[in-house]
Structure 1
Amino acid sequence: MKPLIGITAYNYQDNASFVTKSTYINAILLSGGTPILIPYTTDLMECRNIVEKLDGLLLPGGIDISPRLYKEEPLKEAGMSIHNIDLYEIRLILEAKKQEKPILAICRGIQILNVALGGTLYQDIDAQKAATICHNQSISIRDEMTHSVSLISDSVLYRLYQQDKIYVNSYHHQAVKDLAKTLLPTAYSLDHILEACESEDGRIIGVQWHPETLINTDKNSKKLFQYFVELCQEKC
């Protein structure tokens, strides 16, 4: 039986439909999992029932995260955020962690994961002078790898990739600032922006780049998704 992997879907662009990018769906399919879209709901109690039926949770990219969640006022450079969507994903994360379901968090995903577990964010890495390299490349070629990331040894990513340094694609202006105490840093960019993290047992992984758009061209991205789906398979 293939593992059922939930992917969150939103309706902030069109109230008539729930959407997530096909690249996340295809990455799970290509790695041997069955993707299930989880529509946004304000019924947070329903999140427990949803997670119980899943073998893993994938948190995709998306809009900004409300600074209210880490007790800050929004900077003028902050983008659109929807507080209720943040609360919905946080509840899914906490339920998945409680039920020991694997989590893969991508771009916005690593940010909401960090906030859910008690960390903070840079609202805008340029405005807050955290970045010195480009982290927000043109979206016209999403599979173009533009900047380097250094991997920390003795991490899941290092064991998977067997490299000290890799190149990644990058589309973000927010980033992890103070990492949640229950997460371990596993990769940094040259300007010391945190690019990846994981739980101590390696069952929760967050990356700031977009491996789902690289899965057809980059062997490391394939390894990451295969690792995640194999973890989910154990929960079947």
Structure 2
Amino acid sequence: MRIGIAADANLEPTSIINLKLAHFAPKPFIDVMVKHDVLPVIIPILPAKLASESVAGLDGLIMPGGHDIAADYLGEEPQPGLGGTYRPRDESEFALIKAALDQHIPMLGVCRGIQVINVALGGSVYQDLPSQYPGKNLLQHAQKTLGDLPTHHVAIDPNSALGKTLGKESFVNSRHHQAVREVAPSLKVVAKAPDGVVEAVENEDASIQAVQWHPENLWQNDESQERIFTDFFKRVQARRQ
């Protein structure tokens, strides 16, 4: 089974010339795929015209976390709280999602992944959750503790695919300030934080599923978070048969 993972880009200053804007995939994603005999295929950040060929032959696609989505890809002007962006990655990922939909390739989104999938399918996001969210008692969604430690709970629809994976509640980590605002028509909310922030979405058959937290940093010590990946692999395998 071959599952693609969309690459991030190193935007940090470096004196090593070959690391400038280098494309990479986070190792914890690679580790969980290899553990379960899934071949990871890292898809570099490419022009949109190469998206269809990039996903051809893949059995599944993972959209991982990363920088904010640029405001123009949201059809908006930038809010003061918008963080760092990298438009080439936006161009590449929106095209990858469209190509995966066209080729009926299952997708799993994580953090930025839930946001870019939702926008690509016709939804919207908060550019900056703390300044734009209308609800009260907003939690600390950009946690200040170590990123591999859970910090808040999410309530899960027990009848959803995610609910069958995790049960009706999960304790998760949280490293984001953008978040789903209006949910895309083909998706449904299947998990929320106590403050009402959307924490997971999926489509009718869960061939598209996305979470706002980072299970790639939790699965090593939490078997339930590992099941997010293994259940995705099972859905991918089922569609191959």
TM-score class, shorter: over 0.9
- What secondary structure sits across from 1:230 in the alignment? helix
**Structure 1 counterpart of 2:53, from 30, 49, 52:** 49
**Structure 2 counterpart of 1:5, from 3, 8, 33:** 3
Report the TM-score, using the length of structure 1 for normalisation.
0.93
Distance in 2 (alpha carbons) for counterparts of 1:185 and 1:157 = 11
Structure 2: unaligned runs, 5 residues or longer: 12-18
Q: Structure with the greater relative contact order (CA < 8 A, sep ≥ 6): 1 or 2?
A: 1
Q: Which residue of 2 aligns with 1:159?
A: 164
> Are 2:24 and 1:19 equivalent residues in the alignment?
yes
* Structure 1 position 49, deviation (Å): 1.1
Report the count of equivalent residues: 231
How well do the aligned residues superpose, as a CA RMSD in angstroms? 1.5
Code of the residue aligned with 1:135 in structure 2: it is H
Using the aligned pairs only, state the percent identity: 35
Counterpart mapping for 1:142-157 below 5 A: 142-157=147-162
- What secondary structure sits across from 2:30 in the alignment? helix
- 1:134-162 deviation per Cα after TM superposition (whole angstroms, max 9, x unaligned): 111136x222111010001310011112x
Moved more, 128-137 or 51-60: 128-137
Distance in 2 (alpha carbons) for counterparts of 1:192 and 1:137 = 17
Distance in 1 (alpha carbons) for counterparts of 2:84 and 2:21 = 19
Distance in 2 (alpha carbons) for counterparts of 1:189 and 1:31 = 30
Structure 1: unaligned runs, 5 residues or longer: none
Report the TM-score, using the length of structure 2 for normalisation.
0.91
* Structure 1 position 12, deviation (Å): 4.5
> Are 2:182 and 1:175 equivalent residues in the alignment?
no
Contact 1:31 1:222 in 2 (8 A): no
> Are 2:64 and 1:60 equivalent residues in the alignment?
yes
> Are 2:30 and 1:30 equivalent residues in the alignment?
no
Contact 2:199 2:211 in 1 (8 A): yes
Q: Which residue of 1 aligns with 2:138?
A: 132
Distance in 2 (alpha carbons) for counterparts of 1:47 and 1:70 = 20
Code of the residue aligned with 1:169 in structure 2: it is N
